[in-house]
């Protein structure tokens, strides 16, 4: 094991093997961890064009991220997703993947995965596969190069497509995430689904979420997935299926295309009743709910002692406060976002 992670491994020997269960009886088994707030895109529904990012000293080190993730694994987390920003722009991030893969080897962790915009995927796909990453989510809202440039503000579609190719060649299963945007990509949704299913990739459609100021009116971007589904049912057969990946998507199968379609609907169909996940930012702030502001500081107890005792106590207190659901609302123009922090801060 890398010497840099020796202290994290030692801390695991003192882990408290008590599951994290909230007051509504929901066990937390899925952790999403942002490793950076930085991204090489500026998607119009996610970020402002001119962002101010966190100074480096405020971010958890890779060693601290490893120790934090390992504490959650000791408490029953079985699925770990690294996010950002764009996680693959974090310097030496593969060191973290390699270290966390030990939990796959031990059987403590069922899945180590990530959400990426795909821009750096061609560089890292083979190494990710070697670390035991078997499935990833790639955010892709359009296959039109000019539209892609407009939505991401400066992204290169060809790099993303090359990254998807590299991931599939490495044996990694790719699922696409696409945000449904009124007047932007709604006309392209059927062709995106056909293209993905033709390559053996499932797709999840996501309603735009009111997180952070982006310079755009969310009410103008918002496209209810109930509307999208109705349109798709004029073209194809959509059959509800019980398939789950641990995330919030409800899935349908489409016999005509031979693939699955996930629908993530934080606004039209609240998915909170079975929530099994929490999010940690790159600064060590734990958000028990994506759509609520209540949070817990994990960085302070993490840095206060080499023992994880204070960290586990902070986890117990935080999970006790996990709310029943979120309060996302999109309505009139000019209304402030339901949550002021950007998605890149919380982690996708």
Q: Report the binding-site residues for GTP.
A: 32, 81, 115, 175, 277-279
| Residue 83, CA distances (Å) to 128, 129, 346 in order | 14, 17, 9
Nearest to 29 by CA among 140, 84, 110: 110
Per DSSP, the residues of 107-161 read: TS-SEEEEEE-STTHHHHHHHHHHTT--EEEEE---S-HHHHHHHHSS--HHHHH
Helices 93-100 and 62-74 pack at an angle, to 10 degrees, of 30
How remote is the C-alpha of 58 from its chain's centroid? 21
Binding residues for S-adenosyl-L-methionine, as ranges, are 45, 85, 139, 209
Nearest to 34 by CA among 83, 73, 71: 83
The Cα–Cα gap between 113 and 290 comes to 19
Binding residues, as ranges, are 32, 39, 43, 45-46, 81, 85, 115, 139, 175, 209, 272, 275, 277-279, 289
Binding residues for [4Fe-4S] cluster, as ranges, are 39, 43, 46, 272, 275, 289
Please provide the distance, in angstroms rounded to a whole number, between the alpha carbons at the two ends of the chain. 29
């Amino acid at each position: 094991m890398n010497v840099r992670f020796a202290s994290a491994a030692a801390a695991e020997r003192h882990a408290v093997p008590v599951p994290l269960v909230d007051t509504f009886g929901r066990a937390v088994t899925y952790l999403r961890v942002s490793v950076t707030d930085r991204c090489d895109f500026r998607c119009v529904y996610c970020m402002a064009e001119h962002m101010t990012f966190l100074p480096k000293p405020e971010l958890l080190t890779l060693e601290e991220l490893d120790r934090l993730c390992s504490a959650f694994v000791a408490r029953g987390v079985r699925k770990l997703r690294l996010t950002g920003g764009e996680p693959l722009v974090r310097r030496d991030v593969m060191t973290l993947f390699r270290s966390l893969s030990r939990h796959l080897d031990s059987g403590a962790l069922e899945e180590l995965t990530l959400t990426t915009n795909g821009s750096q995927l061609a560089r890292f796909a083979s190494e990710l596969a070697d670390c035991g990453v078997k499935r990833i989510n790639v955010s892709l809202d359009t296959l039109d190069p000019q539209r892609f440039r407009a939505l991401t503000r400066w992204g290169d579609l060809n790099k993303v497509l090359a990254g998807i190719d590299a991931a599939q060649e490495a044996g990694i299963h790719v699922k696409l995430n696409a945000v449904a945007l009124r007047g932007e990509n709604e006309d392209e949704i059927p062709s995106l689904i056909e293209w993905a299913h033709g390559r053996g990739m499932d797709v999840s459609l996501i309603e735009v979420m009111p997180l952070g100021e982006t310079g755009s009116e969310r009410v103008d971007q918002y496209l209810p997935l109930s509307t999208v589904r109705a349109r798709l049912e004029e073209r194809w057969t959509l059959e509800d299926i019980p398939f789950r990946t641990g995330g919030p998507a409800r899935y349908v199968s489409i016999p005509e295309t031979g693939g699955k379609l996930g629908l993530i609907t934080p606004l039209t169909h609240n998915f909170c009743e079975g929530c099994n996940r929490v999010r940690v930012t790159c600064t060590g702030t734990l958000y028990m709910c994506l759509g609520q502001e209540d949070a817990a500081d994990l960085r302070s107890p993490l840095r206060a002692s080499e023992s994880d005792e204070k960290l586990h106590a902070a986890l117990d207190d935080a999970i006790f406060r996990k709310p029943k659901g979120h309060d996302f609302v999109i309505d009139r123009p000019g209304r402030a976002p339901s949550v002021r922090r950007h998605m890149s801060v919380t982690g996708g």
